[in-house]
Amino acid sequence: MRSVWSETVSPPSFPRLEKDVSVDVAVIGGGMAGVLCAALLRERGLECAVLEADRVGGGITANTTAVLSVQTETLNAERIRKQGFEAAKLLLDAERDAIGRFRAHAEKIPCELTVLPALTYSLCDAEKMKAEVNALRSLGLDATFTTDTPLPFPVAGAAQMPGTAQFHPLKFLYGMTNGLQIYEQTKVLRLDGTTAVTERARVNAKKIVVATHFPFINRHGLYFLKMYQKRSFVIACKGAKPLGCTIMDEAEDGVYLRSAGEFLLIGGGDRRPGKKGCGFDVPREFRQRYYPQAKEVRAWGNQDCVTLDDLPYIGPYRSGGKDVFVMTGFGGCGMTGSMIGASVLADELTGQKNRCAKLFDPSRRMKPLPLLRNGGEAVKDLLALRRPRCSHMGCALRWNPEEKSWDCPCHGSRFRANGRIIDNPATRGIQTKR
């Protein structure tokens, strides 16, 4: 189940770390977040080493739909209600700035970046979309309300947002690796202070950035309590007319769409890994109903880390920490969030003030009820009498017949049928028989 991005570009190759090195900053994780962070720090004169357990861009980044938007599952009207106007304004401004940074880099990196509007629609609630337009306009974005969309069915209303974009994530990522010190097949086993210990060597650094999608150090930060993973499912089809925009249904069980050259990408069926849900049935039924002339040619899944207050965690890994940093929890806005995270940490590590640092502080106070609910979800499968067990914290795994994997309902780790790890926070494989 490879994405259209993986099929349309040849990845660069980087060496395995075989001997000890010393750098200013060790960045753990070679996806979009880690590479961008290292690139921005290098621009500021810091020597960085990127440590990737597998291949650069081979995980979450390879499977994104690569939309650069100011809109995810949480409407901006809801952001204002939950976070307050100033926080919502800061977040929107950070997202717009991130898109601008992508556009600037794309002038030098051929990555099919296209600026086009984003549409969020409702099938039944025009007033909700009008309220969203009003919220966006109050935050400084020239949004408009419309019922005229390229969808093959009528909608009650849609919020149209200008200045968003889409791109080829791997072409962009590989372009950003130029000049970086990167080590592939270099798994970090543990941290000894600011020394990253790998299977063959050590990286002695002044600062550490953990950009591993889901943080892998359990003893600090309690990220397994204050965050969960959500899996989404995408199909790529041929034979559909280009949309001219990116599209998202505001409904919780809705779909999202974008064009990518000759492909129409349809995503949806979101669920927690290891939990029951519709999965690929949602985008496939949508295609069959509304784009019957289009033929499915690819299908894949991807995961997002979701925080309990819908704001990412960017900053010191633990309260009071000064040398180890983290960026995670970007929700459905992973590409934009990666640029935001890289920018915030580039400021943090070079002594510059960033307006968003306090907003994204990983040690911010969480409301107790969401924490209890999220913890309760994990406890059920931790106590379940099933095998195999997850190597992360011992939760009972569930077999995923669609993707032929063992999935952890507690924290989202995934393993191949043979026990080899696919997705963290687990850091080692499992023993399994089927």
Are 334 and 374 part of one and the same domain?
no
The label of the residue with tokens 């979101």 reads: 270
Domain assignment present for 197? yes
Of 264, 274, 266, the C-alpha closest to 231 is: 274
Of 322 and 168, more confident: 168
Residue 280 in domain:
no
Contact assessment for residue 406 and residue 414, using Cβ atoms and an 8 Å cutoff: yes
- Asked if residue 396 is part of any domain, the answer here is yes
Q: Are residues 372 and 337 both part of a single domain?
A: no
Q: CATH number, domain at 315?
A: 3.50.50.60
Examine the domain organization and report whether 374 and 343 are in the same domain: no
Question: Is residue 325 domain-resident?
Answer: yes
- Token pair recorded at residue 6: 């993986």
Residue 137 lies in a domain: no
Instruction: Round to whole Å and give the CA distance between 150 and 253.
Output: 20
Q: What is the mean pLDDT of residues 103-109?
A: 97
Q: CB–CB of 432/406 below 8 Å?
A: yes
Question: Which structural domain, as residue segments, surrounds residue 200?
Answer: 4-64+170-224+310-349
| Count of structural domains within the chain | 2
Residue 283 included in any domain = no
User: Percentage of the chain with pLDDT > 90?
Assistant: 76
User: Mean pLDDT of all residues in the chain?
Assistant: 93
- CATH of residue 402's domain is 2.102.10.10
What's the burial of 277, exposed, middle or buried (CB within 10 Å: 0-12/13-18/19+)?
A: middle
Q: Which of 68, 119, 55, 132 is nearest to 98 (CA)?
A: 68
For 195-222, how does the pLDDT look when each residue is reduced to its tens digit (9 = 90+)? 999 999 999 999 999 999 999 887 777 8
Indicate whether 25 and 58 sit together in one domain. yes
Mean pLDDT of the 354-358 span: 94
pLDDT band at 425 (very low <50, low <70, confident <90, very high): confident
Residues 59 and 14 in one domain: yes
Q: What whole-number distance in Å separates Cα of residue 336 and Cα of residue 169?
A: 11
Cβ atoms 430, 388 nearer than 8 A: yes
What is the three-class DSSP state of 307?
strand
Q: Read off the pLDDT of residues 229-280 as tens digits, 9 standing for 90 and up.
A: 999 999 999 999 999 999 999 998 899 999 999 999 999 999 988 888 789 9
Strand partners, 160: 119, 144
Question: Does residue 221 come out as left (phi exceeding 0), alpha (psi in the -120 to 50 range) or beta?
Answer: left
Strands (DSSP E) along 123-194, which ranges? 144-146, 157-161, 165-166, 181-183, 188-192
369, 66 Cβ separation under 8 angstroms: no
Q: What is the mean pLDDT of residues 54-64?
A: 95
pLDDT in tens, 369-409: 878 787 777 777 777 778 899 888 888 898 998 888 999 98
Q: What is the pLDDT of residue 162?
A: 94
User: What's the pTM value of the predicted model, to 2 decimals?
Assistant: 0.94
Q: Is the model's pLDDT at 434 over the cut of 60? A: no
**Which residues, in sequence order, are bridge partners of residue 166?**
67, 114
**Integer Cα distance of 234 and 67 in angstroms:** 13
pLDDT score at 433:
64
In a domain, 24, yes or no: yes
pLDDT band at residue 225 using 50, 70 and 90 as cut-offs:
confident
What pLDDT is attached to residue 73?
67
Contact, 6 vs 62, CB < 8 A? Answer: yes
Structure tokens at 279: 């999965």
Residue ending a domain, among 319, 349, 379, is 349
The residue behind tokens 């590479």 is: 35
Of 355, 365, 362, 364, the closest CA to residue 89 belongs to 355
**Any domain includes 373:** yes
Sign of CA dihedral 304, 307, 312, 316: negative
Task: Give dist(CA 154, CA 156) in Å, integer.
Answer: 7
**317 lies in the same domain as 415:** no
Is the previous residue joined to 312 through a cis bond, with omega within 30 degrees of 0?
A: no
Of 318, 349, 380, the residue that ends a domain is 349
* Phi and psi at residue 301, to the nearest 5°: -120, 165
372 and 345 in a common domain: no
**19 and 56, same structural domain?**
yes
Q: Are 27 and 212 in contact (CB under 8 A)?
A: no
Place of tokens 């309690």: 222
- The residues near 251 (Cβ < 8 Å, ≥ 6 apart) are 122, 123
214 and 315 fall within a common domain? yes
Is there a single domain that holds both residue 411 and residue 314? no
| Type of residue at 127 | E
Same domain for 339 and 388, yes or no, is: no
CA 398 to chain centre: 23
* pLDDT value of position 22: 98
CA distance 355 to 166: 26
